[in-house]
């Protein structure tokens, strides 16, 4: 199938790394692994940091002009995709292009990773909210990446057009990363990975620091933190009482070996959609101590591959971490289960299969719409 792809939140070649960019690239890779031909239809970015009707209407005008230009260019070279797929749609990044192109060429329209915040129906984001809702109404299939988003989308997307697409990674580099053994008597090796910037990331570091401060002095550990940013001085100060090594920002190819040299991945996950790093750490054989936030419980099996605590609850986070630090054999068993879990349910092949099924449902829904009698 020929698939036209766009990512209004952030183009896939954006120079700033993020989980959003990574997931978008993984979706394209999985579609290609499933045998589809994927073309990036446009790099147009609808996302804006600030709202307001005037700002959003200007983005809409530019988006529709881009759609018109695309349609003309496609016709001039005789190109017609079989389906248009938009990755990551919400009020700050509406999609005007996909619905317009799908209508122009008479093809199915699919949205992967959509979220909806009803409180944005009014206020500075009202125009973008309405545009996102209009795209959802036009879509032949909508996929949320976790159950919490699905619940919000269910108000406007009927069940036959709504699914949860479990997130996935290219697990191969992590599954084949050779585990670095911990010698008897050595403290358990903790790992955290996260940018150091104001907002949810620094909030997670604050909860992590408070949790570590709560641990009994008898529990020994080392902590490695990969990441950097304008908040690094604050993070260093928060954790100054503990044995911490800061690596700075690492290249993606260095992450599998880093994970494989540790025992437990620790991250409070404040406002985390799901966190690809939870998948990566599990694939490398790490037990998880994390926050029970949004989609995290969809990818971390509480009690089997890790222990989750309520978002922001430093005391509960500390108790879970203490439970594993006190019983290294339990942490090792969870790490082994985590590798199996990712290999079976969240690798690239799994993602390709689920995406293929999603597209098949979209084609059926599109055909059903086309043959339905006018209301």
Provide mean pLDDT across the span 123-143.
97
Three-state DSSP state, 349: helix
164, 50: one domain: yes
Under 8 Å CB-to-CB from 329, ≥6 apart: which residues? none
The CA distance from 71 to 105, in Å, is 8
225, 126: one domain: no
Instruction: Judge whether residue 126 has pLDDT over 70.
Output: yes
266, 361: one domain: no
The CA distance from 97 to 260, in Å, is 42
For the chain, the C-alpha Rg in angstroms (whole number) is 22
71, 122: one domain: yes
The residues with which 192 forms a beta bridge, in sequence order, are: 225
When divided into structural domains, the chain yields a total of 2
Instruction: Judge whether residue 375 has pLDDT over 70.
Output: no
Instruction: Judge whether residue 138 has pLDDT over 90.
Output: yes
pLDDT, one tens digit per residue, over 216-241 is 999 999 999 999 999 999 999 999 99
341, 364: one domain: no
pLDDT, one tens digit per residue, over 165-184 is 999 999 999 999 999 988 88
In the structure, what pLDDT confidence band is assigned to residue 137 with cuts at 50, 70 and 90?
very high
Predicted local confidence at residue 331, as pLDDT:
97
76, 152: one domain: yes
Q: In the predicted model, what is the mean pLDDT of the chain?
A: 94
326 secondary structure, DSSP code: T
Predicted local confidence at residue 118, as pLDDT:
94
Instruction: Judge whether residue 58 has pLDDT over 80.
Output: yes
97, 33: one domain: yes
148, 242: one domain: no
Distance linking the first and last C-alpha atoms of the chain: 31
Residue with tokens 């949790």: 211
Q: What percent of the chain shows pLDDT beyond 70? A: 99
Instruction: Judge whether residue 373 has pLDDT over 80.
Output: no
113, 260: one domain: no
Predicted local confidence at residue 374, as pLDDT:
57
pLDDT, one tens digit per residue, over 293-349 is 888 999 999 999 999 999 999 999 999 999 999 999 999 999 999 999 999 999 999
Instruction: Enter the pTM of the model.
Output: 0.87
Q: Are 214 and 288 in contact (CB under 8 A)?
A: no
Provide mean pLDDT across the span 41-58.
95
150, 235: one domain: no
Q: Which residues of 75-114 are buried (b: 16+ CB within 10 A; e: fewer)?
A: eeeeeebebbbbbbbbbbbbbbbbbbbbeebebbbbbbbb
Predicted local confidence at residue 104, as pLDDT:
96
pLDDT, one tens digit per residue, over 24-44 is 999 999 999 999 999 999 999
157, 41: one domain: yes
Q: Are 287 and 263 in contact (CB under 8 A)?
A: yes
Instruction: Judge whether residue 358 has pLDDT over 70.
Output: yes
Instruction: Judge whether residue 80 has pLDDT over 70.
Output: yes
More confident site: 273 or 65: 65
CATH code where residue 301 lies: 3.40.50.2000
pLDDT, one tens digit per residue, over 246-285 is 999 999 999 999 999 999 999 999 988 778 999 999 999 9
Predicted local confidence at residue 187, as pLDDT:
96
Sign of the CA dihedral running 327, 329, 334, 339 = positive
Predicted local confidence at residue 369, as pLDDT:
84
Task: Residue 205: give the domain boundaries.
Answer: 172-345
157, 189: one domain: no
């Amino acid at each position: 199938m020929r698939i036209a792809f766009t990512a209004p939140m952030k183009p896939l070649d954006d120079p700033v790394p993020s989980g959003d960019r990574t997931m978008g690239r993984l979706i394209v890779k999985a579609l290609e692994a499933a045998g589809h031909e994927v073309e990036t239809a446009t790099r147009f970015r609808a996302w804006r940091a600030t709202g307001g009707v005037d700002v959003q209407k200007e983005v809409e005008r530019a988006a529709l002009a881009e759609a018109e230009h695309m349609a003309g260019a496609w016709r001039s070279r005789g190109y017609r995709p079989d389906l248009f797929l938009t990755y990551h749609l919400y009020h700050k990044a509406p999609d005007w292009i996909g619905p317009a192109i799908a209508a122009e060429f008479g093809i199915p329209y699919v949205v992967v990773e959509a979220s909806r915040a009803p409180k944005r129906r009014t206020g500075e984001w009202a125009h973008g909210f309405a545009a996102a809702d209009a795209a959802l109404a036009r879509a032949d299939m909508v996929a949320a990446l976790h159950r919490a988003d699905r619940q919000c989308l269910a108000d406007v997307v009927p069940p036959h057009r709504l699914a949860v697409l479990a997130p996935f990674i290219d697990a191969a580099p992590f599954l084949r990363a050779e585990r670095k053994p911990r010698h008897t008597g050595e403290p358990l090796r903790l790992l955290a990975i996260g940018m150091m910037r104001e907002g949810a990331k620094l909030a997670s570091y604050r909860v992590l620091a408070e949790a570590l401060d709560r641990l009994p002095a008898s529990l020994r550990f080392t902590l490695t933190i990969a990441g950097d940013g304008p908040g690094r001085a604050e993070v260093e100060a928060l954790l100054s009482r503990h044995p911490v090594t800061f690596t700075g920002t690492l290249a993606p190819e260095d992450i599998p070996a880093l994970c494989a040299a540790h025992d437990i991945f620790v991250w409070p996950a404040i406002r985390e959609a799901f966190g690809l790093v939870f998948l990566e750490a599990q694939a490398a054989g790490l037990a998880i101590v994390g926050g029970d936030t949004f989609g995290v419980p969809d990818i971390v099996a509480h009690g089997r591959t890790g222990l989750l605590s309520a978002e922001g609850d430093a005391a509960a986070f500390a108790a879970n971490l203490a439970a594993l630090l006190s019983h290294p054999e339990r942490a090792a068993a969870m790490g082994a289960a985590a590798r199996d879990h990712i290999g079976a349910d969240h690798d690239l092949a799994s993602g390709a299969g689920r995406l293929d099924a999603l597209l098949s449902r979209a084609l059926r829904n599109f055909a059903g719409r086309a043959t339905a009698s006018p209301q």
